[in-house]
A and B are shown apart, each in its own frame.
Chain A
Amino acid sequence: GESVGLHLPTLSVQEGDNSIINCAYSNSASDYFIWYKQESGKGPQFIIDIRSNMDKRQGQRVTVLLNKTVKHLSLQIAATQPGDSAVYFCAGLTGGGNKLTFGTGTQLKVEL
């Protein structure tokens, strides 16, 4: 089945720097990916999504890159702010179904 994992459990960045959070997936049939932000004690919050027919998508201060060749996606956060401190999860969807598989999560810590 699908498994979605992350390379690093914790990422520390200075305020104002750019953050890059990585995610690897195993199922080449995965066709839709979402990045979520989860603050402590809260539910996941949608950040940005990307379909498998795209390799890049930009939002406000965030960019998601998808490399299907190596089955890797990344979330880039520009000018990281203290409010960006949270756990970030990638999640994947496969084959037109509606079940999301979540990665293990990366804790982003923003240092002042």
Chain B
Amino acid sequence: GAVVSQHPSRVICKSGTSVKIECRSLDFQATTMFWYRQFPKQSLMLMATSNEGSKATYEQGVEKDKFLINHASLTLSTLTVTSAHPEDSSFYICSAARQGYEQYFGPGTRLTVT
């Protein structure tokens, strides 16, 4: 149990376009979902926390107008990278949490902006 999926697993887009990444909890309802960003050989950095039906809470330094998060249901959260630039190229990972501490991580999405 506690499986989290992400789609797509890899995406390449042109500079200036927008990309949407989906995060789904497949077999449980997630009260909270988290979005992380990870550059090569670096740690995970939390971008934002989202609760179903409410606005996401962004970490300091993360542009909320650039990284749009929608948490429309207890099993789905989306991250849209708007007007993507090469510096947005990264590994984006979501996690989902039920009641309690444990977060279940998705497999990640590799974004490459050309």
Chain A residues at the B interface, C-beta cutoff of 8 Å: 32, 34, 36, 41-46, 49, 89, 93, 98-105
Contact yes or no, A103 B43, CB < 8 A: yes
Chain B residues at the A interface, C-beta cutoff of 8 Å: 4, 6, 32, 34, 42-46, 49, 91, 93, 95, 97, 101-108, 110
Contact yes or no, B93 A100, CB < 8 A: no
Interchain nearest-CB distance for B10 vs A (Å): 9
Contact yes or no, A102 B93, CB < 8 A: no
Complex contacts, B93 vs chain A, CB 8 Å: 43-44
Q: What are 6 A-B interface contacts by the 8 Å CB criterion?
A: A36-B105, A42-B107, A43-B4, A46-B105, A93-B101, A98-B103
Interchain CB contact (< 8 A) of B49 among A45, A93, A98: A98
Contact yes or no, A44 B46, CB < 8 A: no
Interchain CB contact (< 8 A) of A100 among B42, B46, B91, B110: B46
Contact yes or no, B102 A49, CB < 8 A: yes
Give the complex CA separation of A42 and B32 in angstroms. 21
Give the complex CA separation of A49 and B58 in angstroms. 26
Contact yes or no, B44 A46, CB < 8 A: no
Q: A43-B93, A99-B49 are in contact. Are A104 and B105 (CB under 8 A)?
A: no
Contact yes or no, B46 A89, CB < 8 A: no
Q: A49-B102, A99-B49, A100-B103 are in contact. Are A41 and B44 (CB under 8 A)?
A: no
Complex contacts, B105 vs chain A, CB 8 Å: 36, 43-46
Contact yes or no, B97 A98, CB < 8 A: yes
Interchain nearest-CB distance for B102 vs A (Å): 7
The interface centre, meaning the residue of A89, A100, A105 with most chain B CB atoms within 10 A of its CB, is A100
Complex contacts, A89 vs chain B, CB 8 Å: 43-44
Interchain nearest-CB distance for B77 vs A (Å): 15
Give the complex CA separation of A34 and B105 in angstroms. 13
Contact yes or no, B43 A98, CB < 8 A: no
Contact yes or no, B49 A43, CB < 8 A: no
Interchain nearest-CB distance for A31 vs B (Å): 10
Interchain CB contact (< 8 A) of B43 among A43, A45, A99, A105: A105
